Copies of this chain bind each other. A is one copy, B any other.
Amino acid sequence: MHIGLIGLGKMGFNMRERLRRGGITVTGFDRNPELTDVSSLDELVAAVPAPRIIWVMVPAGAVTDNVIRELSGALQEGDLVIDGGNSRFTDDQAHGALLAEHGISFLDCGVSGGVWGLANGYGLMVGGSDAEVARAMPIFDALRPEGERQESFVHVGDIGAGHYAKMVHNGIEYGLMQAYAEGYELLQAKDIIKDVPGTFTAWQKGTVVRSWLLDLMVNALQDDPDLARVAGYVEDSGEGRWTVEESIANAVPTPAITASVFARFASRQDDSPAMKMVAALRNQFGGHAVRPARQDPA
């Protein structure tokens, strides 16, 4: 099988490599001339034999929109586009409809595994028709870990369902990380606890909280036992926010996941306007002293 792959960033670059190791011929295209196999989208389309499969692995939103639009013009009836990025499920539905107007098929595929996926394989969640999923199965089999297919691959539903499941996966991931992190803070705040990294290490086998994320925490604490080198400043990507939005849209209470999203927002604030107001209010009714705002160093 010979496919095209658009986007050779942190994820796409590794996936090209894993696909090749799995026996798939891959022509990759990226704007970065040091990474790309071809110099243009047209060249990519020319290089891949029809009926083509093109895997798209670029940032969600406008960039993916543009690539899908270009592909809708460049590809031919019978070709198949797979979006393996982190698109919102509603975007998938629009992309699938656009491509369908040109007789081009579409699958959305949520991909999990991060930088470890090259070695371990990726977990895959796919949305689209049975026929197209079957057609792309050699790709999925090359990307996922060895072993039982059902433990790393699922055909979740129609177009959009793959990214919906990936969105929920990431929402859960936010919640899991927050739970571990709160526990970490409780341990490191308590004077009677003498070995925080050792405690996390000892949870790896046998306990109820053992997990891959826990193993990564142990790695992080081995490198930097007090996390002295890292600031408590955390970005968030679309999936966490969309998970909260879907909670709202479907009237599903998600207090733990939402708390994890809010904690990230707060982590990026130098000072909280809300807490300035609480401080001001306490001063108003109780005469409680306020701490003056930090002077700007400028």
- A161-206 with Cβ < 8 A to chain B: 161, 164-165, 168-190, 192-195, 198-199, 201-206
Interface code A85-115, partner B: CB below 8 Å = 1, 0 otherwise?
0000100000000000000000000001111
A184 interface neighbour in B176, B206, B274, Cβ under 8 Å: B274
- A129-188 with Cβ < 8 A to chain B: 144-145, 147-148, 150-158, 160-161, 164-165, 168-188
In the complex this chain forms, how many copies of it are found?
Answer: 4
In angstroms, Cα B255 to Cα A145, docked, is 35
In angstroms, Cα B207 to Cα A253, docked, is 24
* CB-nearest residue of chain B to A233: B291
**Taking the complex as formed, is A234 at the interface, i.e. its CB lies under 8 A from any CB of chain B?**
yes
**Taking the complex as formed, is A267 at the interface, i.e. its CB lies under 8 A from any CB of chain B?**
yes
**Taking the complex as formed, is A287 at the interface, i.e. its CB lies under 8 A from any CB of chain B?**
yes
**Taking the complex as formed, is A282 at the interface, i.e. its CB lies under 8 A from any CB of chain B?**
yes
* Contact yes or no, B233 A275, CB < 8 A: yes
Interface size on A, residues (CB 8 A): 139
- A226-284 with Cβ < 8 A to chain B: 227-235, 241, 243-268, 271-284
Q: Which residues of A contact B (CB under 8 A)?
A: 10, 89, 112-117, 120-125, 127, 144-145, 147-148, 150-158, 160-161, 164-165, 168-190, 192-195, 198-199, 201-214, 216-217, 219-220, 224, 227-235, 241, 243-268, 271-288, 290-294
